[in-house]
Structure 1
Amino acid sequence: MKKNGLLHSELNKTIAAMGHGDMLVIADTGLPVPVDVPVIDLAFCKGKISFLDALEVIADELEIESYIVAEELQHRNASLIEKIQGILKKPSEQLTHEAFKDLSKGAIAVVRTGEWTPYSNIILVAGVPF
């Protein structure tokens, strides 16, 4: 049994299987999940597990090269972008929410959180630790 770090077995397996350039989405409760993309559901009630809680834990486990958020987040919740930048300290890109949803069709998985704040979604692009 793992004694620390990420304990969710399905999420551990997904991260371990990712290669350079693979994408993992962390989503709020409202983001539509593409039909052929697996969902790792962490939500158990409104606000639990939060987007930032999931991001912090996943960022400790996954080598992240860059990330993508929706442009709308800047207008709806600029403080969240600052918090994301503080956690990741990586290059970022912004797309329209529609383009973000379209790009998420190519993700390895969507990690659904209990986040109840609009546009609290991110695509993490896997890097290489060497």
Structure 2
Amino acid sequence: MKKNQLLNSELSYLVATLGHTDEITVCDAGLPIPETTQRIDLALTHGVPGFIETTRTLLAEMQIEGVIIAEEFREVSPILHAALLDLLESEEQQSGKTVSRTYVSHEEFKVRSGESRAIVRTGECTPYANVIFQAGVVF
């Protein structure tokens, strides 16, 4: 059995097979997911698992170099947006690397998320609680 935090086999496999600059989207329960993009559906019920809980677990396994966030997230859901920024700051401190932040419109975000290797659907029901992680390298 795995010793690390991430136990979901699909998500663990995805992280293990990422290359530099590959992208993974973590989304709320409502983001549309194109049929052409792999869906890893973790949602059980409203709020379970949550966006921050899922993001924290993913970041424990994945090296990132950038994120893409919808502008609406910071405007409509500032508390959860601030919690995401706190996680990113912790990631920067732990890795010693800067994580770039790019903001786009929600419409642009939806198009861009369809280009991800996979979209991880959480049970989060906070509006615009979505992020695209760009894989970095550990060296």
TM-score normalised over the length of structure 2: 0.90
| Identity fraction in percent | 41
Counterpart Cα distance in 2 of 1:3 and 1:64: 21
Q: Which amino acid aligns with 1:35?
A: E
Q: Cα offset for 1:107?
A: 0.2
Alignment partners' CA distance in 1, 2:58 and 2:77: 21
Deviations 1:60-113 (A, max 9, x none): 100000101100012101122221111112221110000000111110000000
Letter matched to residue 2 of structure 1: K
Q: What does residue range 68-87 of structure 1 map to in structure 2 within 5 Å?
A: 68-87=68-87
The corresponding residue for 1:63 is 63
- Root-mean-square deviation (Å): 0.9
Letter in 2 for 1:125: Q
- Where do 1:1-130 residues align within 5 Å? 1-89=1-89, 90-130=99-139
Per-residue CA deviation, residues 21-61 of structure 1 (Å, 9 max, x unaligned), is: 10000000000001210111110111100000000000110
Q: Aligned pair count?
A: 130
Return the alpha-carbon distance in structure 2 between the equivalents of residues 11 and 74 of structure 1.
26
Distance 2:125 2:133 in 1: 20
**CA shift for structure 1 position 3:** 3.2
120-129 or 80-89, which deviates more: 80-89
The residue type equivalent to 1:36 in the other structure is T
List runs of 5+ in structure 1 lacking aligned partners.
Answer: none
CA distance in 2, matches of 1:71, 1:118: 12
- The SS at the match of 2:114 is helix
Q: Which amino acid aligns with 1:42?
A: L
Q: Which residue of 1 is the match for residue 94 of structure 2?
A: none
Q: What code does the residue aligned with 1:55 have?
A: T
Cα offset, 1:4, TM superposition? 3.4
Q: What is the TM-score normalised by the length of structure 1?
A: 0.96
Return the alpha-carbon distance in structure 2 between the equivalents of residues 67 and 79 of structure 1: 18
